[in-house]
Structure 1
Amino acid sequence: MDASILAFFARLPRQSPGSAAQTLTALGHLPELPPDARVADLACGTGGATLALAERLQAPILALDQAPEFLERLQAEAAARGLADKVEAVVGDMASPPVPARSLDLLWCEGAAYILGFDAALAHWRELLKPTGFAVVSECSWLVPNPGLAAKTFWYAAYPAMRTVLENIERAEGAGYELLATHTLPSACWAAYADSLEAGLADLATRGEALDADFVRALAKEIALFRNTGEEFSYVYYILARK
């Protein structure tokens, strides 16, 4: 990713739609974890989910991302919240995280499994879980069988492999998981993310900085779509137990 675009996203509170409240709602579908739980948040970005999990679980969390800029912000925020001893920020690839096989009680990933492919990510990450471990993975999913033209045009170009919730459940079960629950991110989170993108662009203008014009045009289309998601698509948390 271009350095200026990376810096733009590093300044945002989150790199995809979501909120601490939604993270904790998804977490609430899991049974209680052991007091010495081993937890990893893969492709954590600047740590919106990481910090919420660390505060609630009071357990050490491996926070992995490929972008050092994201992790620097995460570490600063963790220190400000008194969570520096709970967050281990590591630069790395979620396709090969520095995690021993069968070692995790909980693997978390919000909004990034699509990079590997939902099926491939679940299959690979299952081997990192203890036999009693859990995975919570959010995936952009179709909520209706016949979405409108604007949504179809955008997502068929951006993520042609996007599937319905039922299709993703079938794939997760086929990959060796038991579905405990799903949780759908509300449209308000998409609108809030659109607001953050717009505020980020305004901040750049104030700084006298510029981004690639094609990127800004594409971002404007995303902002417009995200403000009018309706009920056609959203990130859905798939809350899973290893079988």
Structure 2
Amino acid sequence: MKQVIAPVVSKGVRLPPLLRRGIAFSQTITFHCPEIAVESKPGQFVMVRCGDSVLPRPFSIHQVNAQGDLMLYFAVFEKGKGTQWLSQRSVGDKVEIFGPLGNGFLEPVSHSLLLIAGGMGIAPLYFLAQEASMKKLSATLLYGTAVENPYPGDTSGIRLIRATDDGSVGHRGLVTDLIPEHAKEADHVFACGPLPMYRAMAKMPALKNKPVQVSLEVVMGCGRGVCYGCTIKTKSGLKKVCEDGPVFNLNDILWDELGSV
């Protein structure tokens, strides 16, 4: 884990909210922080100090490149002081970042991957999709949002299948509707999304005998396993999302005892 003061090198355009109520818009922001970028793996996260807040905020790592840049793709909440502050940074501004943190997705070794993203869950999965494409693995990305949204990254080399609540693009309905059909051909499944999506997945016969890794998004305090503010119940006892996760096996988590994610 490194602690750096990183300059902003680019910002993306504001995009419409993807899923949850209370989100004003979503956006990308890129920092130059080679010390963190070179060590980052899909599924890991960074803690960003947003303004004068006492505690830094966790953000999934969305992309990294060979030049040492690290991109975040994040939701800006209508009443979120931290995300509002981050969205207002300009190119050249410097921000304190800690990372990379947590245990990410296991490196895919199978040749047929199924990636399932619900709303802002696309943030960590895009990094994984990039790696799969580079390794010439077959990757299908199921991407569900509330409305049509221009995807922020390059999806070349990835089979992208969309679902929207209003039917504005792709399947009309939930992204989970698409899972049974596409799980048949997958050797390994990776997912990131809201709690209802995970609860639905945990009950699906189509996923029962497949390795399924999920990335949890929870409120964190320190991000380093010290404060115990992000503990969850699993079949093997209490686990800290920031330190033991954020990636877990789908069937290890006691979903009925997990609060809102």
TM-score range, shorter chain: 0.3 to 0.5
TM-score (norm 2): 0.43
Q: Which has the higher contact order (CA 8 A, sep 6+)?
A: 1
TM-score (norm 1): 0.45
